[in-house]
Chain A
Amino acid sequence: MTGAHRITIAGEDLQLLPQKALWWPARRSLLISDTHFGKTATFRQHGIPVSDHTLEEDLARLSDAVHSTTADRLVILGDLLHARRGRSPETLARVTHWREEHSSLHVELIRGNHDRSAGPPLDDWRIAILSDAHREGPFAFCHAPGEVEGAYVLCGHLHPKAIVNLGAGTLSKLPCLWIRPRWAVLPAFGSFIDSAPVAPEADDRVLAIADGQAHDVTPFLAVRRGRRFTSAASKAAGTGRPGTTA
């Protein structure tokens, strides 16, 4: 796939796509998390004028990921819908329309915390609800990170972003896949979403997405020290001078 980064997790070959999705070729499955459809509508309901452009773009990007992989199945690891007040007719119609364009795709959902209050997906969307910690191969599909006995967890919920030290005193915040010993956290798929910086530990790997490409940025991560960031490399060398907050 163009711009994808291959990685092996729990013995399975996976690819992080620049569309912010994880592709599992052996099962012809795309995994995404935290779409938060209806978030812009929720804001409008509360009097904050934000348009649905991000929703349109998100759905277009999802189509792009489906087409470029020719996936048979899409698994959503939670927070499909943002809130009950975001179930506007326009939001629901857009998603229905998208579903009709990909009618042969199997779509499955692990419910997230937002889904519980937002209500179920529409019947027309034909989304199968999986039970939490659904097992498949070496993996368990969850919404939030946590250990599952005997499985490697693929999850979301954190909306992870990597703070990357790009030299010349610059720091960049990039959506990322955060790979830890017992679980990996997918980036938030939706674009009208704030992300939280990852706090990587020694054996973690971080793949970040920038300009339509996925990169392994593990060597370039800036580590948060109090309110400031230092580059992990200079911290290890003990000679680094503090960087700046982005």
Chain B
Amino acid sequence: MFDSPEMQSVAPLLNVQKRWSRIPAVNELLIERWRSREGHHLFVYPFAGRLVHEGLAALWAYRLSRRIPNTFSMSVNDYGVELLSAHDAALDSDLPDLLLGTRDLAADLAASLNNVEMARRQFREVARIAGLVFEGYGGQRKTAKQLQASSGLLYDVFSNYDPANLLLVQARREVLERQLESSRLKRTLENLAAANVAIQHLARPAPLAFPLLVDRLRDRLSSETLSQRIERMTAQLEKEAGQV
């Protein structure tokens, strides 16, 4: 297997992956868990491509966030998904059903979309084309000062007061169609459900996990209120201050 130059160059990495974690077999779904200063990391490797993984990440964060008030940020690449949470998301034994169950999939997907930034980002495109925001030609004054409103601000205002706004509806639909590829997502979940789930607890991030860790594009989702999160962090600091 390791006779080509490509395989030879990647062999040391695969070796590390094998020692620190596991190399998933063909019919296996690998899940890794790791605790760091930042929180609780959950890595899942469907190898289904980035677009499907974006949908899976949002779906899983949503389902996990319904168990206890928790805060997630997500990271995806072509190999897998990372969910980083403030609190431990679930027991090992609960994970397969939480992540792979297809019951309520459509409803969960729609709900997860409301909590993440994808629709907001897509709205930026829609707003530009609709002429609501103007990004300016190079070197010129961007827009009359009176009309400065970011697409994010418009998205918030429409979401709060005009949820049936056609531009919003379009943004959401475009996300679902383009980025989530919902039928592919369902098929991916069905395939994963048929696989053996292998859960590894890591002492340190293994090679498969590392690119997800350093991925810049992270989405976030929370079922804690902002106030709860701030209070939690304040309490932690005070506790640490008391111990020093």
Known: A82-B146, A192-B149, A211-B225. A169 touches B84 (CB 8 A): yes
Pair B85/A54 contact, Cβ less than 8 Å: no
Contact digits for A39-54, partner B, Cβ 8 Å, 1 yes 0 no: 1001100111011011
- Name the interface residues of B12-48: CB closer than 8 Å to any CB of A: 38-40
Known: A174-B226, A220-B233. A192 touches B71 (CB 8 A): no
Pair B230/A168 contact, Cβ less than 8 Å: no
Question: With the chains together, A174 CA to B225 CA distance in Å?
Answer: 13
Residues of B within 8 A of A193 (CB): 153
Residues of A within 8 A of B71 (CB): 166-168, 170
- Name the interface residues of B193-244: CB closer than 8 Å to any CB of A: 214, 216-218, 220, 222, 225-227, 229-231, 233-234, 237
Which of A42, A53, A208 sits near B161, CB closer than 8 Å?
A53
Residues of A within 8 A of B149 (CB): 43, 50, 192, 194
* Interface residue range, chain A: 35 or more
Question: With the chains together, A43 CA to B222 CA distance in Å?
Answer: 32
Pair A194/B148 contact, Cβ less than 8 Å: yes
Pair B233/A194 contact, Cβ less than 8 Å: no
Residues of A within 8 A of B162 (CB): 51, 53
Known: A83-B146, A167-B39, A169-B73. A244 touches B230 (CB 8 A): no
> Taking the complex as formed, is A217 at the interface, i.e. its CB lies under 8 A from any CB of chain B?
yes
Which of B148, B217, B230 sits near A210, CB closer than 8 Å?
B230
Binding site for B on A (CB under 8 A): 39, 42-43, 46-48, 50-51, 53-54, 82-83, 85-86, 164, 166-172, 174, 191-194, 208, 210-213, 215-217, 219-220, 228, 241, 244
Please give 16 more A-B residue pairs, beta carbons under 8 A apart, in addition to A212-B227, A241-B214: A47-B131, A50-B149, A53-B161, A86-B146, A168-B86, A169-B218, A170-B220, A194-B148, A194-B150, A210-B230, A211-B227, A213-B230, A215-B234, A219-B234, A219-B237, A220-B230
